[in-house]
Amino acid sequence: MKAVIFDLDGVILSTDDYHYQAWKKMADEEGVYFDRKINNRLRGVSRMESLNIILEKAQREYGLKEKHVLCERKNGYYRKLLNHITSKAIFTGAIDFIEFLKNKGYKVAIGSSSKNATFIVKRVGLEILFDAISDGNNIIKSKPDPEVFIKAAEMLKIDPKDCVVVEDAKAGIDAGNRAKMKTIAVGEAVNYKKADYSFSDINKIDKNLF
């Protein structure tokens, strides 16, 4: 292995609750039922696909234009909440683990479906650690499509088969497998059988694998 590609939300730091609060506000305003269980299905999924999942509970059909407006509205709420994010949101052990990999000569990248990923990475002061950031802005198809990880490997100039993906979403593990990369599941994906390795969180990943 030559490179490790990390998902951002739920792997390196926690923005889950901000996403939940922003979608919840939008759903309440629209009178659409939404709870944390539904929110779990949005992990790793793009903004528009997340909205489509939420609108499964809507009483009427929404047109594409209207959906774009709702996505923008949710993102406005989310960006407002993100203004409060600090380095405290970074999970224990995440920086140590990335530095350990870099010291061993691995390339490290972000592979996130979020269009806000670069903003978040900069905001919490992590941009210095990563050799590349592949995010929701440079892809057409979101996870489980492998595009975001393939683009990350291209940016790093490393063959996908020499890359490892670290993910907290089943869709992300599927994407890593489809990219022919090794996969490590953490957090919410810990029991997902399709991952090559599983650990409860980034701090528990066995360093002997590297």
Q: State yes or no: residue 174 binds Mg ion (CB under 5 A).
A: no
Of 207, 38, 45, the C-alpha closest to 113 is: 45
Question: Quick one: what does residue 174 bind among Mg ion, ligand BG6, none, with the CB cut-off 5 to 8 Å set by partner type?
Answer: none
Q: Looking at residue 42, what DSSP letter applies? A: T
State in angstroms the smallest separation of the CB of 15 from Mg ion.
9
Task: Tell me: does residue 42 bind ligand BG6 (CB under 6 A).
Answer: yes
By beta-carbon proximity to ligand BG6, the closer residue of 74 and 107 is: 74
7, 145, 168, 174: which is the annotated catalytic residue?
7
Other CB atoms within 10 Å distance of the CB of residue 124: 19
The most distant pair of C-alpha atoms in the chain lies apart, rounded to whole Å, by: 54
Does the protein bind Mg ion through residue 111 (CB under 5 A)? no
Measured distance CA(51)–CA(70) in Å, rounded: 8
Cβ neighbours for 199, distance < 8 A, ≥ 6 positions apart: 184, 185, 186, 190, 205, 206
Q: Which residue in 123, 122, 124 sits closest to 133, CA to CA?
A: 122
Catalytic residue check, 9:
yes
Stretch that binds ligand BG6, among 27-35, 60-68, 107-115, 202-210 (CB under 6 A): 107-115
Please identify which residue in the block is written with the tokens 């140590």: 96
User: Could you tell me which residues come within 8 angstroms of residue 203 by beta carbon, excluding any fewer than 6 positions away?
Assistant: 91, 92, 93, 94, 97
> Near ligand BG6 by CB under 6 A, which window of 61-69, 110-118, 183-191, 202-210?
110-118
From 115, 123, 178, 180, residue interacting with ligand BG6 (rule: CB under 6 A): 115
Q: Is 163 exposed, middle or buried (0-12, 13-18, 19+ CB in 10 A)?
A: buried
User: Per CB under 6 A, does 133 bind ligand BG6?
Assistant: no
Closer residue to Mg ion, CB minimum distance, 32 or 185: 185
Does residue 159 carry a catalytic annotation? no
CA 161 to chain centre: 21
Least distance in angstroms from the C-beta of 170 to Mg ion: 10
Q: Does 10 bind Mg ion (CB under 5 A)?
A: yes
Active site residues: 7, 9
Q: Which residues bind ligand BG6 (CB under 6 A)?
A: 8-9, 19, 42-47, 50, 75, 112-116, 136
